[in-house]
């Protein structure tokens, strides 16, 4: 469906880059984001095939799993499988679960891309207790990692004119490290949802008491004769 964009341009007059702009390569940002505490793990690269992405992801997830509490040793296999199958219940195409499953330790949510469904990568995740979940097609707005990437990019590059991809990568990684010193947790809704909730719950106070109503009371309109009589009484 059409939606309002950030800006518009006349037909046949597209927006142009400033004269300082020189396209000299591409910088990409590999990102792992933990919304509950706002911590991020980022790495700047100039290209991102599966060999680069999967190797970095395995390295970072191994470090994260090592920092998590150890899984319970007395977990019943049937109970453990039920925990895994719980996250497959409403999926259109659930990933096949192996016969032997380790303890479920982490959920990994990422885009619904072909490279994210590589059998070797999915098998590695499940062997280490990581359940991969994918955002639906056309639902990239559900990916909070893209939100944090926009914030970091704006902080690192607004008002700047980098000349090399190395500068872009260094600035974004530096901003990411600074973010982790005072991270901001992400949660669905937030301030906007709170404002909408207050709007729905808004009350109209009734004068002189603590009572209130959801709808404003209609004030009776005075006729011209009543206005004349009232004005006549005030003058006399």
Per-residue pLDDT, 41:
95
- pLDDT greater than 90 at residue 128: yes
Per-residue pLDDT, 193:
76
Containing 213, the helix (H) or strand (E) segment is strand 212-213
For 86-103, the pLDDT digits (tens) are 998 888 888 888 888 999
Query: 182-189: which pairs have CB atoms within 8 A and are 24 or more residues apart?
Result: 183/37, 183/38, 183/39, 183/40, 184/38, 185/35, 185/36, 185/37, 185/38, 186/33, 186/35, 186/38, 186/144, 186/147, 186/148, 187/35
Say which range, 40-49, 132-141, 145-154, has the weakest mean pLDDT: 132-141
Whether residue 209 is contained in a domain is answered as no
Read off the pTM: 0.71
Per-residue pLDDT, 173:
94
Whether residue 174 is contained in a domain is answered as yes
Whether residue 40 is contained in a domain is answered as yes
Whether residue 68 is contained in a domain is answered as yes
**Taking CA 95 as the corner, what is the angle to CA 92 and CA 96, rounded to the nearest 5 degrees?**
125
Return the CATH number at 99.
3.30.420.10
Task: Read off φ and ψ for residue 28, nearest 5 degrees.
Answer: -120, 155
Give how many domains the chain has, as a whole number.
1
Whether residue 214 is contained in a domain is answered as no
Per-residue pLDDT, 210:
66
Whether residue 87 is contained in a domain is answered as yes
Residue numbers of the domain that contains 127 = 28-181
Give the pLDDT mean for 22-38: 88
**Taking CA 149 as the corner, what is the angle to CA 146 and CA 152, rounded to the nearest 5 degrees?**
155
- pLDDT greater than 70 at residue 152: yes
For 176-216, the pLDDT digits (tens) are 999 999 998 888 777 777 777 777 677 666 666 667 776 66
Query: For residue 132, what are the contacts with CB-CB under 8 A and spacing of at least 6?
Result: 95, 108, 110, 116, 122, 125, 126
Per-residue pLDDT, 112:
85
pLDDT band at 235 (very low <50, low <70, confident <90, very high): low
Whether residue 189 is contained in a domain is answered as no
């Amino acid at each position: 469906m059409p939606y309002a964009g950030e800006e518009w341009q006349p037909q046949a007059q597209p927006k142009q880059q400033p004269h300082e702009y020189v396209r000299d390569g591409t910088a990409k940002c590999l990102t792992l984001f933990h919304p509950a505490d706002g911590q991020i793990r980022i790495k700047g690269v100039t290209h991102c095939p599966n060999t680069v992405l999967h190797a970095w992801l395995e390295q970072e997830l191994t470090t994260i799993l090592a920092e998590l509490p150890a899984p319970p040793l007395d977990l019943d296999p049937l109970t453990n499988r039920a925990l895994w199958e719980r996250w497959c219940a409403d999926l259109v195409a659930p990933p096949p679960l192996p016969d032997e499953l380790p303890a479920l330790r982490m959920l990994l949510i990422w885009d619904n891309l072909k490279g994210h469904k590589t059998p070797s990568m999915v098998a590695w995740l499940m062997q280490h207790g990581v359940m991969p979940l994918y955002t639906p097609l056309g639902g990239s707005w559900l990916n909070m990692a893209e939100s944090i990437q926009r914030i970091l990019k704006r902080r690192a590059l607004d008002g700047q004119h980098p000349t090399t991809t190395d500068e872009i990568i260094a600035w974004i990684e530096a901003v990411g490290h600074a973010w982790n010193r005072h991270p901001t947790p992400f949660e669905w809704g937030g301030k906007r949802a709170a404002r909408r909730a207050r709007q729905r719950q808004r009350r109209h106070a009734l004068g002189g008491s603590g009572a209130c109503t959801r709808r404003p009371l209609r004030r009776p309109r005075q006729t011209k004769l009543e206005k004349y009589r009232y004005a006549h009484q005030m003058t006399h």
